[in-house]
A = this chain, B = another copy of it.
């Protein structure tokens, strides 16, 4: 049997220097954090260029006005500065210091407004009075500021000076893409959103982790073709799907990566199909992770799995995160800062992605070439020679399971599921049996690669 990418992935994962990688990923988060990103514009481009240092991501531009299914690519937003000053001239909010202060996609505005009028343009969180919220207005032209509720309550009547120096003008939407070619044209999609400004876990972490995974896979010869998308949320995923409709049909498995660095447990949200191979691969990986974790059903809310799983595509794309969308108290507020991100959790999530890809890469159906009764493993050196012991070694159990279930219809993942043994053990048992000519891949064409 040829050496394979599944084993390469396992080896790479086992050899990772967690400490060094954690430090590198956290440094990338720190560098990305202060940039004022949005669904279009220079902040997004700058961020993608930072990621290009880690992996050869290609940048694509989709012009303003492009129809993408039911949507139209909006005018490009250029942000320069945004300041709010009080009746006494004191600086109340300055996006220079915290870019969440400006309503994301705010129209330009310069002028003086009384407090009563200003209030219509302010956003705050009455139940989290110390935090500044993240708010956007992409498709309805508006200007505004986001403040902490505490700050807002302290505002006194009077005239406020607004200076929002932005431009909304024809331009383009930018997204990043990186393809690692595989032996097969079928693709594994990894998609992450890049539009959020100063929110560290959501989603500087996803951007950094995906770039690192892309770099790592780039050094391998995988079975599947891997496509990494770094897209602005919603409109970016929609634009890619609209412009790549045929290509999208090749996506065999996919994951949406976001919020991958907080201290919370790993959480998997199933694809719309619910029991696709990607769903089973992640569930298996989590079951053997030795960690607390959570599996959730699909729901048409959250990140870009909403688009990949729309009924016109129904792609087998789930989402593997730590604490999911909207469920940690710092979510979409100024408290989602780099301190919330734990280097060791970033590495743990990255390892989990690799373990899932190991399953996908190694998951094939085999045929037992000696299917009538058990073959005599002992004479091939695959079984201990002294009998009578009450328990077989784990590697022997894995071989017995592979032999028993390999009738050409069941994949190794199914064998791993039924035997409750880790996929790696099952995969290696299949390899050993293959080397002993006791097992053959059902579809030898699938093996046609170095």
Q: Please indicate the chain B residues that have their CB under 8 angstroms from the CB of A242 in the complex.
A: 372-373
Are A372 and B403 in contact, with the CB atoms below 8 A?
A: no
Residues from 311 to 357 in A contacting B, C-beta threshold 8 Å: 311-313, 325-327, 331-332
Q: Which residue of B138, B299, B372 is within 8 Å of A69 (Cβ)?
A: B372
**Given A376-B70, A376-B71, A385:B309 Cβ within 8 A:** no
Q: Which of A385-401 contact B (CB under 8 A)?
A: 385-392, 397, 400-401
The residues in A between 38 and 76 inclusive whose CB is less than 8 angstroms from any CB of B are 68-71
Determine how close the nearest CB of chain B comes to the CB of A189; give it in whole angstroms: 15
Measured CA separation A245–B388 after assembly (Å): 28
Q: Which of B104, B234, B373, B401 contacts A237 (CB 8 A)?
A: B373
Cα distance A135–B378 in the bound complex, in angstroms: 15
Q: A11 at the A/B interface (Cβ < 8 Å)?
A: no
Tell whether, in the assembled complex, residue A387 and residue B310 are in contact, meaning their CB atoms are under 8 Å apart: no
**Number of identical monomers bound together in the oligomeric complex:** 3
Contact A388 B104 (CB under 8 A): yes
Stretch of A83-91, A211-219, A300-308 that contacts chain B: A300-308
Contacts A299-B419, A300-B403 given; indicate if A137 touches B386 (C-beta within 8 A): yes
In chain A, residues 403-417, which have Cβ atoms closer than 8 Å to a Cβ of chain B?
A: 403-407
Complex contacts, A368 vs chain B, CB 8 Å: 311-312
Inter-subunit contact B70/A388 (CB<8 Å): no
Which residue from chain B places its CB closest to the CB of A245 in the assembled complex? B372
A137 to B311, CA, bound (A): 61
Structural contact, B373 and A69, CB atoms closer than 8 A: yes
Cβ A388 vs Cβ B133 within 8 A: yes
- Chain B min CB distance to A414 (Å): 13
For the complex, give the distance between the alpha carbons of A140 and B245 in Å: 62
- In the complex, residue of chain B having the shortest beta-carbon distance to the beta carbon of A241: B373
B387 engages A136 (CB within 8 Å): yes
Known: A134-B388, A373-B242. A404 touches B310 (CB 8 A): yes
B406 touches A311 (CB 8 A): yes
Q: For A101, what are the chain B residues with a Cβ–Cβ distance below 8 Å?
A: none
Q: Which residue of B lies closest to A326 (CB)?
A: B390
Q: Tell me whether A374 is interfacial, beta carbon within 8 Å.
A: yes
B390 engages A331 (CB within 8 Å)? yes
CB of A300 within 8 A of CB of B140, answer no
The residue that A301 contacts in the complex, of B138, B325, B400, with Cβ under 8 A, is B400
Task: Indicate if the CB atoms of A138 and B387 lie closer than 8 Å.
Answer: yes
A373 touches B140 (CB 8 A): no
Q: How far is it, in angstroms, between the C-alpha of A238 and the C-alpha of B370 when the chains are bound? A: 13
A379 interface residue (CB < 8 Å to B): yes
Q: B residues within 8 A CB of A311?
A: 368, 371, 403-407
| CB atoms of A300 and B375 under 8 A apart | no
B372, A404: Cβ atoms closer than 8 Å: no
Minimal Cβ-Cβ distance residue in B for A199:
B388
Chain B residue numbers with a CB within 8 Å of A139 are 376, 378-379, 385
Tell me whether A307 and B373 are in contact (CB under 8 A): yes
Question: In this assembly, does A431 line the interface, its C-beta being within 8 Å of a C-beta of chain B?
Answer: no
Q: A309 to B70, Cβ gap below 8 A?
A: no
What residues on B are CB-neighbors of A133 within 8 Å?
Answer: 388
* A123 beta carbon closer than 8 Å to chain B: yes
A223 within 8 A of B: no
From residue A35, how far is it (CB to closest CB) to chain B in Å? 17
| Chain B: CB-nearest residue to A310 | B373
Q: Which residues of B contact A407 (CB under 8 A)?
A: 311
Closest 9 CB pairs of A and B: A326-B390, A312-B371, A312-B372, A300-B404, A140-B385, A136-B387, A300-B400, A70-B375, A135-B388
Q: A135-B388, A331-B390 are in contact. List 13 more A-B contacts (CB 8 A).
A: A69-B372, A70-B376, A71-B373, A137-B386, A137-B387, A238-B373, A238-B374, A245-B372, A299-B401, A299-B419, A300-B374, A306-B374, A311-B371
Q: List 14 A-B contacts (CB under 8 A).
A: A69-B370, A135-B388, A139-B376, A234-B374, A237-B373, A241-B373, A299-B401, A300-B397, A300-B401, A301-B392, A306-B374, A312-B371, A327-B390, A332-B390
